Amino acid sequence: MQRTLAKIHHLLLVGIMLWLSASVGILFADEHSLNLQPGDQIQIIFLGEPDFELPFDIDGEGNIQLPEFGTVKLSGITIDEALLKITSALQPYYRNLSRISLSLKARRLAVRVLGYVKLPGLIYLDNDATVQMAINAAGGLLQGAQLDKLQHRRVGQEPIIFNYKTYLDTGDSTILPELNPMDEIFIPASPLIGNVQVDFDAQTLLASGDASDDKNSVTVFGEVPRPGTFGYQPEMTVIDFLMRAGGVTRYAGVEQIRIIHEGVPAPFDMRGYLDTGDRDKMPDLASGDIIYVPQAVEGIRSGVSNVFVIGEVFKPGPYETKGEATFLEILANAGGPTRYAETRQVRILRADGTTVPFNLAAFTEGNSAVEMPRVAAGDAIFVPEKLDVNEKSWLKVPSSRAVGLIGAVARPGRYEWSDEMTLLDLLAHSGGPNQSSDLANMQVIRAPVNGVSALPIYFNLKRYLENPDLPLVDIFSGDTIVVPELPDDPNDNRSKWISQSSKNSIYIFGQVGAPGRYAFSEELNFLDILSAAQGPNGNADLANIKVTHRNGEYMKVSDLNLHLYFETGDESVLPSVKNEDVIYVPSLTRNWIEKEKEETIRILGAVGRPGRYPFSDSMTILDLLAEAGGPTVNAKQNSIVVINEGATNDQSHVFDLVKFAKNGDFSTLPVIRNGDTIYIPDKSQGTWRTGLNFLDDILNVAAFIIFFR
């Protein structure tokens, strides 16, 4: 019997152990399948090491601080992966790491709570914690926190604004957002508490308004006892908001109350509304509007029922209109125009910003085409002063009916303009151009339109006077006409050459009577500029004139044999020149040795016919190699050396003919000058060397050049 009981007891123990093993295995499997996250607490079991007795917290960055090693990032990996990472980190510092193990001691949630709370910062919560638990863990809300605009922030997502007050009122947990590791809860401060930290006083704050934000409120300030921002309700009127602000003070200008809606002010005459009770005089309000009650100032009469008369009248000032007062009635009350008044230029300035011109003189003369303008409350009547009275001033002519005339004319200035006038009328009124005016290059500068300036318009008045059938340039009010002066001869006055634009000049050097820079235009040609320079002198080499063209799409040099033109009279021989071009007339008498040296090129090495060849500036290295019969079979075409004998820097460089043949980039061709030497090495000489050996080769080539000469 005892043996049977012992056997049963043994079987029960075995079953319990198997069940416990299975349960522990399930828990272990669940634990080891989870990824670690910020806030989790892990236990590193390392017997015999006191530094590992306490658990380790995974901080907000997903790291733990290991003894001896330092920071190890564990967030986002499993327990098994974390154990391998920790073991690998501790390997250099500890022995027998086979007995180390790792377990997840607590699953926690790391959340940041910021803003208007008592203890802002990073807090650790249970894995199923809510926003309310996070706020409580941060010490709770401070007085003055705005409960309806809490923010939930998550990395990589837009912030979510939720109403915590509604949650507290209803208990609806769906209002609160779910929390993930490293989420952020931000509690803003109410705008009622101001910008200075003081003890919270709800009664004082609410006395200056009860609105939570500007978008759903109306602001009242000015001459009221309690200015502030008040919550908006659609059925409320201006009177309701003024009553909430304590009414108006005895200094208030109730006829000039302003309602500002979306940046646009509108007047409200509260006295007129209270006198008539007309609901149409009450303006509508919207959320975000501003009500301003100004102070009534003695001596300044303003209001929407006034018309203002200003300028050359006997009694300028504001006049209150009753009923349908006409223009003449208002002007008569102001005493009428004075003898200095310009009655043809009277203007009505509307309250909406528009301007209406009125010719009072023509109206009094019985001109039926002129109608008397209508004048309404808020308008202004401006009677300007005559232009021929007292000293002239440009302020008397507005820009809308004036043009400017500057430059080489008899009387430059600012002139009154009318659409029936032309450019010729304006020039005649100014006394006409003077002797130095450049009528072929007049400019018309338009007035800017919407802040954008147009390019100047060039007009050739000289060509128009020669052919009146051509169209005349149109002139409008606000334009400016520039009449430039003809450039002075820089040879007559050297101090004035800088005032002449290089874009309108041409250069001539060498053997001419007066070399220098000259004014040039498209109507002139090569012979004109040569004549302006007093022609070639007795030493000029007319057969080798050079013209450098700088004003085209690319720079080039052309040769001119002027003898050929004199012998044939063929105009096609003469080159076409433009502004900024350079003409060089060389000297006829030069030393023949210098000429021979400057106009020849030496070609040495592995070519068909090495020797000295004639050279001109239009030739390239390809032309010279062709003249010399081209490289031989044994020539090292990728190491052609060009030696510039007269250069001060970079006296020699290597040209790769093989690379040029592949890409065909003509910009890589070396610059060849008179007197240069081109050396093509032979393959049997080995690789072209650098450094000191390269200098030896250069010296050998130079010695060969001297011997050859």
Evaluate whether 34-106 and 397-479 have a shared fold.
no
pLDDT at 119: 92
Residue 259 confidence class, pLDDT cut points 50, 70, 90: very high
**Is pLDDT of 317 > 70?**
yes
* pLDDT mean over 4-30: 46
From CA 519, how far away is CA 496, in angstroms rounded? 12
Residue 275: count other Cβ atoms within 10 Å of its Cβ.
10
Cα angle, residue 570 at apex, residues 565 and 571 outer, rounded to 5°: 95
Task: Judge whether residue 595 has pLDDT over 70.
Answer: no
Rounded to an integer, what distance in angstroms lies between the CA atom of residue 113 and that of residue 121? Answer: 6
Annotate 197-247 with DSSP letters as a single string.
-----HHHHHHTB--SSSTTEEEEEESSSS-EEEE--TT--HHHHHHHTT-
Per-residue pLDDT band at 498 (split at 50, 70, 90)? low
pLDDT tens, 271-288? Answer: 888 878 888 888 889 988
pLDDT given for residue 395 in this prediction: 63
Confidence at 4, pLDDT banded by 50, 70, 90: low
* pLDDT score at 335: 92
Considering the segment(s) 34-106 as one domain, its CATH architecture is 2-Layer Sandwich (3.30)
Whole-number Cα distances in Å, 431 to 391, 402, 412, 625:
20, 17, 9, 69
Please tell me the distance from the alpha carbon of residue 510 to that of residue 541, in angstroms, as a whole number.
10
Structure tokens at 654: 């290597």
- Return d(Cα 193, Cα 250) in angstroms, integer: 30
CA distance linking residue 390 with residue 405, whole number of Å = 23
Over range 153-159, report the average pLDDT.
Answer: 89
Strands (E), 552-651: 556-560, 582-585, 600-605, 611-614, 640-643
Q: Is the pLDDT of residue 688 over 50?
A: no
In this prediction, residue 293 has a pLDDT band, given cuts at 50, 70 and 90, of very high
The closest alpha carbon to 402, from 480, 517, 349, 470, belongs to 480
Beta bridge partners of 317: 309
**pLDDT, position 503:** 75
Q: How far is Cα 506 from Cα 519, in angstroms, rounded to an integer?
A: 6
Which pLDDT does position 67 carry in this prediction?
Answer: 82
Q: Does domain 397-479 have CATH number 3.10.560.10?
A: yes
Task: State the pLDDT confidence band at 349, using cuts at 50, 70 and 90.
Answer: very high
CB 489 within 8 A of CB 517: no
Superfamily of domain 109-193: Outer membrane lipoprotein wza domain like (3.10.560.10)
CA distances from 63 to 24, 43, 60, 70, 123 (A): 28, 14, 7, 10, 16
Q: What is the CATH number of domain 494-585?
A: 3.10.560.10
**Strongest mean pLDDT among 85-99, 381-395, 601-615:** 601-615
Per-residue pLDDT for 145 more than 70? yes
Q: How confident is the model at residue 309 (pLDDT cuts 50, 70, 90)?
A: very high
Residue 25 DSSP one-character state: H
Quick one: pLDDT at residue 553?
Answer: 62
| Cβ–Cβ under 8 Å, residues 695 and 651 | no
Instruction: State if pTM tops 0.75.
Output: no
Which has the higher per-residue pLDDT, 243 or 673?
243
Q: How far, rounded to the nearest angstrom, does the alpha carbon of residue 232 sit from its chain's CA centroid?
A: 40
Q: pLDDT by residue (tens digit) across 99-144? A: 788 877 777 888 889 999 999 988 888 888 899 998 998 999 988 8
Domain 595-708, what fold? Outer membrane lipoprotein wza fold like (3.10.560)
The token duo for 250 is: 């005895």
Residue 393 pLDDT: 61
| Residue 588 burial class via C-beta count within 10 angstroms: exposed 0-12, middle 13-18, buried 19 and up | middle
Rg over alpha carbons for the chain, rounded to the nearest Å, is 49
Domain range list for the chain: 1-28, 34-106, 109-193, 204-293, 306-383, 397-479, 494-585, 595-708
- Determine which of 32-41, 473-482, 511-520, 650-659 has the lowest per-residue pLDDT on average: 32-41
What band does 689 get if pLDDT is binned at 50, 70 and 90? Answer: very low
Asked if the model's pLDDT at residue 186 lies above 90, the reply is: yes
State the DSSP string of 347-364. EEE-TTS-EEEE-HHHHH
User: Quick one: how far is CA 85 from the chain centroid?
Assistant: 51
- Of 343-347, 520-524, 597-601, 640-644, where does mean pLDDT reach its minimum? 597-601
Instruction: Confirm if 149 and 188 have CB atoms less than 8 A apart.
Output: yes
**Which comes out higher in pLDDT, residue 81 or 150?**
150
Does the pLDDT value for residue 338 go beyond 90?
yes
Residue 105's nearest CA partner among 200, 169, 34 is 34
> Is pLDDT above 70 for 25?
no
Check residue 370 and give its pLDDT.
87
Average pLDDT over residues 366-381: 87
Residue 708 scores a pLDDT above 70 = no
Q: What topology does CATH give the domain 204-293?
A: Outer membrane lipoprotein wza fold like (3.10.560)
Q: What is the mean pLDDT of residues 664-690?
A: 76
Question: Among candidates 192, 39, 195, which has minimal Cα distance to 122?
Answer: 39
Angle at CA of residue 513, ends 594 and 511, nearest 5° = 15
Quick one: pLDDT at residue 198?
Answer: 62
Handedness of CA 695, 699, 705, 709 (dihedral sign): positive
pLDDT score of 205: 55
What per-residue string of b and e applies to 235-260 under the rule 16 or more CB within 10 Å gives b? Answer: eeebeebbebbeebeeebbbbbbebe
| Contact by Cβ (8 Å): 334, 375 | no
**What's residue 670's pLDDT?**
84
Please give the Cα distance from 59 to 421 (Å, whole number).
84
Mean pLDDT of the chain: 80
* Amino acid at the residue 347: R
pLDDT at 624 over 50: yes
H helix or E strand, kind and range, residue 90: helix 79-90
> Euclidean distance between the first and final Cα of the chain, in Å?
134
Band (pLDDT 50/70/90 cuts) for residue 17 is: very low
E strand or H helix that includes residue 123: strand 121-126
SS3 category, 663: helix
pLDDT at residue 66 in the model: 83
Q: Which of 12-21, 155-164, 305-314, 384-393 is the least confident region? A: 12-21
Identify the CATH assignment for 306-383 out of 3.20.20.70, 1.10.630.10, 3.40.190.10, 3.10.560.10: 3.10.560.10
Phi, psi values for residue 539, rounded to 5°:
-95, 5
Instruction: Summarize pLDDT for 432-476 with one digit per residue, the tens.
Output: 898 888 888 899 998 888 878 888 888 888 888 888 888 888 898
